[in-house]
Structure 1
Amino acid sequence: MFEEIDYRVVEKILLGESNFNEQQKSFIELFESKTIVAGPGAGKTTALAAKIILLLQHLKRTGSSDGLCIITYTNVAVKEINDTLLKAGIGLLTHPHFIGTIHEFFNKFCVIPHFKKEYKHNSLFFSDDDLLSKEFYIKFLTRNHHWMQDKTKTAIAQRICGSKLIYNETTKNLELENTTAWEDRLFTNHKAKMLNAKILRRKNGYLEYDDTFLFSQFFLSDTRFLEIIRKRFKYCFIDEFQDTSVSGLALLRKLFDVENNIMQMIGDPFQTIIYDQPMPRVDEGTVFRLNISNRFGKEISDHLNIIMPEANIQAVENKKSFKPIILLYKEDKDIYTSYRSIISEHEEEHDFYKNCEKEDKVLVWSRGWTSLLKEGKAYSNKKRKSFETKNHQIKHLIIEFICEKIKSTDENHSILKKWIHDHPAMIELNGILVEIIKNGVINPHKENLKILINRLLGEKGGGVIIASNHIFKNIKDILTNTNTFDPKIIDYESSDDIFTIHSVKGETLRSVLVVNFNGGPLTKIMFHKYEIKDDADYIYTDHNLLYVAMSRVTHLFVYALHIDNWNDDVRNKLQDNWTIKDIT
């Protein structure tokens, strides 16, 4: 399907002097509905970018009008793919294609059209702030049931907030579900007024984030609209499917998992680490595996396959890592300094490790354990600083400017920022900013930005701006500022290298120390997977956390184990494949 010359160009852009391996090429050339289970370090993001570039070139060459729908988990991923397309000379994705988060997709193609059709407006405000909703429902009850006591109105308003709106596919109506464990008799008595209040707030354009899928379900119940979207997007690629909303994923399946469309879900179900989020069920008959990792050597992959045999991670032959270390300790306070000593020793003895520019991090199951590792230090939510791109600086400037212009309304600042971040116009803003960064604050890009800002201001009654507004000078100042810094020379707070496992998902690190104090499940999981204990009483989320922690590293994995857990049986199971470092 793809020409060899196109392949070579894409490899040059994305890999430099390297080439895609045969497994990656097979994925790039795969065009049937499949679930792509992509292991850590398998080059999933790069291979997907190559697939998109080559497919777009093919569609252009053949004159096809088929559209690509690319669903990403974050806007950061949107930027990464768009930046790659710019490098390849393709430019930003435009009609008939789409790239964005699942909420952006369904809001654009289902929710906004639904509100235009049913309620003759598309001014939508998304928030999960129960306080705002509760105030609305109290006013609704006061207006329609003025005889109620204030205490009763407040109690019912609280129940309205907690009751869930659902779509009944049989009746094709919105209904209310008793999700507050209210006594059935009381719920039945008040259900009609509660439902009316809930629907009225939605009709006015005040939605919760899950309402995206609710109203999309409503909209897609009309098969005409279902077919229009299907015909526009022949190809649908869902990145990080394991993190995608269950409701959203079901709707995407309804849309694209059909005979004439190609739907590919790409991700790693074993990296599902959000508590209460169900582990995706994967049909092995529809699976294509990307399991050859370029991140670490066999020294790590062998242990990953003990922790998570289903992942079946394979390492490339020329990749070298260290045998992982069990750090035996007695005193909590000795763990951190011993880990730093291990890092220093490896740097002195191995240049390839010393020259690796990835970070070293201490990973904890519970953030409260930071003070046990470093006395008097609390867990810091502050991430390590990294260079903020001009794109991010300008976007932040614009968002703050818009908030400032409409702050005279009663809207909360943080809610306003969230409204702007989630607005469908953010996709358009990204495209305008790319052009401004490339070409400067000149027309037509300046004019397009002014129109977009005025559109957002207009939706909240914030007035309009003209082309001489100071915002454009401030953008120019950012573009002409040549100050940069090297993140490696910043003096961080000492506790800033301690992170929860959740916070480093998606990162690649030089080394990791995992700490599991009493109350944490990780040692129990380790002992079960290495056949030291029969006890398998743990949840899959914690199992996945251990897998995620170990799979971050390029070179060195260290696990801190209290001496009380060490005995002959443990020694016999671990000593051949782990380096044992006893600091007791």
Structure 2
Amino acid sequence: MQQVFDITAADIAYAEAILLPNGKPFDQERLNFIENQNTIDLQAVPGSGKTTALLAKLLIIERKLPLIKGGGILVLSHTNAAIDEIKHKIEKYCPKLFSYPNFIGTIQSFVDQFLAIPFYVIQYKKKPLRIDNEIYDEIVKKTYNSLPNSAAKSWLNRLHNPESVFVKMRFDKDLNLLKEMNGDFLLRSANASATYTQLANAKKNIMKSGFLCFDDAYLLAELYCKHIPGIIEIVQKRFPFVFVDEMQDMDKHQYEILEKLFYGNGTSISTFQRVGDKNQAIYSSPRSTEIWIDRNQVLKLKGSQRLSIPIARVASQFAVYKDQDYEITGLNECKILPQILIYDDQNLGLVIPFFSKTVKEMAGKGDLPDFEKYPVKAIAWNTEWKDDDARDNISKLRLCDFYSDYNKDSKGAKIDYSCLKA
């Protein structure tokens, strides 16, 4: 039987004192989530404070540690930035939560540490040298350039940009070759053609050499579950409580491995709570509404501290995912009304200057009291194309289409270099 915590008024007050402005309590929507200890989903509108509600739950659980039978708390998100935010806000108040047997990290780091690397060791009797996309791509390009004249090379040469096809090619759990992770089939393993065999062996040899891309980690995780299914129960016992923040940004393979590990058609011994907003998905290639299937019990946070009443009213009309009682309740007292700029393709370069002019005028009239502290910025859906097809789609616009001098800054230190000079 799963462990249940007694969450008291004193526990709630403790979390409020750390996370909320002085004298401000959690409302009933947030209390419903904080106190819930079942496998559920939390769907939360923009600016609803869903991460704060999750942090409150974690602060309270930390006071109840250790868990019975030595289990741990697992907290996952999609990006390092989200994990860093969690650490920044609560680590000093709950150090036990950030040490063994608990784990707080990205979905990638969890899959690497608990599934991919252990299964790789089982298969190859050694640890992988590196799990990194940039290094992997360099190795794959060298492999492509050294491919002998063969059925595989002839097949690749008939394709558009054959080197790119070879670099992006991925295995699925049945070792079919896909165009990319979660992509269309290129070659099926069941056919065992000479082309498939040569390409599959080339990819397998790269993996055996110790160089993996991030997608390979998910392949190894799937193979671990497929060939040694007992690992699923072991992982559930290791983590009886699982919380995933920003669930909408999980891609299909990430969603599926989490479901397999911690839900299992409702048979899991883990409590698995997913937190996010399907309308805020930014990373996943398929729509989050297509891969994130609601649990039987879905809690909702409808109140938005970020949005005012008039802006919430407009924003709710643009929601892609709506159920019968979908609603955004604007709680911000800002009086600024939504403004929509209408332009044509010939005036793309005038959009940001006009936007800037409008913002400056509002700031000059005192409508933006925190303008110096919180500067207004222009954002766009994407800043660079990731494939040739997108480049040819004139309906898709980048930030540099609006602002020709824009250059995307490289963020984060590069971990690996090809040589000392680089």
Work out the CA distance in 1 between the residues paired with 2:40 and 2:280: 19
Percent identical pairs in the alignment equals 25
Q: Is the 8 A contact 1:167 1:214 kept in 2?
A: yes
The letter for the 2-side match of 1:236 is: V
Q: Is the 8 A contact 2:379 2:399 kept in 1?
A: no
The letter for the 2-side match of 1:315 is: G
Name which of 405, 411, 414 aligns with 1:378: 405
- Structure-1 residue corresponding to 2:363: 347
**What is the 5 A alignment of 1:40-79?**
40-60=46-66, 65-79=70-84
- Structure-2 residue corresponding to 1:300: 311
Work out the CA distance in 1 between the residues paired with 2:285 and 2:378: 25
- TM-score when normalising by structure 1: 0.57
Query: How far did residue 43 of structure 1 move?
Result: 0.3
Name which of 75, 88, 91 aligns with 1:86: 91
Work out the CA distance in 1 between the residues paired with 2:85 and 2:342: 41
Name which of 208, 229, 233 aligns with 1:227: 233
Q: Is the 8 A contact 2:7 2:60 kept in 1?
A: yes
Deviations 1:267-313 (A, max 9, x none): 11111244743333433743211121111221111112222282411
SS in 2 for 1:321: coil
Q: 1:236/1:63 Cα in 2 relative to 1: closer, same or farther (>3 Å)?
A: closer
Query: How far did residue 229 of structure 1 move?
Result: 0.7
- Structure-1 residue corresponding to 2:298: 287
The letter for the 1-side match of 2:374 is: K
Work out the CA distance in 2 between the residues paired with 1:48 and 1:285: 20
The letter for the 1-side match of 2:99 is: T
Work out the CA distance in 1 between the residues paired with 2:215 and 2:117: 14
- Structure-2 residue corresponding to 1:495: none
- Structure-2 residue corresponding to 1:29: 35
- Structure-2 residue corresponding to 1:263: 272
The letter for the 2-side match of 1:135 is: K
Structure 1 segments unaligned to the other structure (5+ residues): 169-173, 386-391, 414-584
Q: Is the 8 A contact 2:45 2:303 kept in 1?
A: yes
Deviations 1:527-581 (A, max 9, x none): xxxxxxxxxxxxxxxxxxxxxxxxxxxxxxxxxxxxxxxxxxxxxxxxxxxxxxx
Q: Kindly indicate whether residue 330 of structure 2 is the aligned counterpart of residue 312 of structure 1.
A: no
- Structure-2 residue corresponding to 1:116: 121
| Alpha-carbon RMSD | 3.7
The structure whose Rg is larger is 1
Query: How far did residue 343 of structure 1 move?
Result: 3.0
- Structure-2 residue corresponding to 1:240: 246
Q: Kindly indicate whether residue 204 of structure 2 is the aligned counterpart of residue 199 of structure 1.
A: yes
- Structure-2 residue corresponding to 1:19: 25
- Structure-2 residue corresponding to 1:575: none
Q: 1:337/1:63 Cα in 2 relative to 1: closer, same or farther (>3 Å)?
A: same
Q: 1:115/1:84 Cα in 2 relative to 1: closer, same or farther (>3 Å)?
A: same
- TM-score when normalising by structure 2: 0.77
Query: How far did residue 263 of structure 1 move?
Result: 0.8
Work out the CA distance in 1 between the residues paired with 2:79 and 2:209: 28
Work out the CA distance in 2 between the residues paired with 1:175 and 1:326: 47
SS in 1 for 2:288: coil
Q: Is the 8 A contact 1:38 1:44 kept in 2?
A: yes
Query: How far did residue 85 of structure 1 move?
Result: 2.7
Deviations 1:477-509 (A, max 9, x none): xxxxxxxxxxxxxxxxxxxxxxxxxxxxxxxxx
Work out the CA distance in 2 between the residues paired with 1:194 and 1:201: 11
Aligned length: 380
Structure having the higher helix fraction is 1
Query: How far did residue 210 of structure 1 move?
Result: 1.0
Q: 1:132/1:63 Cα in 2 relative to 1: closer, same or farther (>3 Å)?
A: closer
**What is the 5 A alignment of 1:270-281?**
270-274=279-283, 276-281=285-290
SS in 1 for 2:81: helix
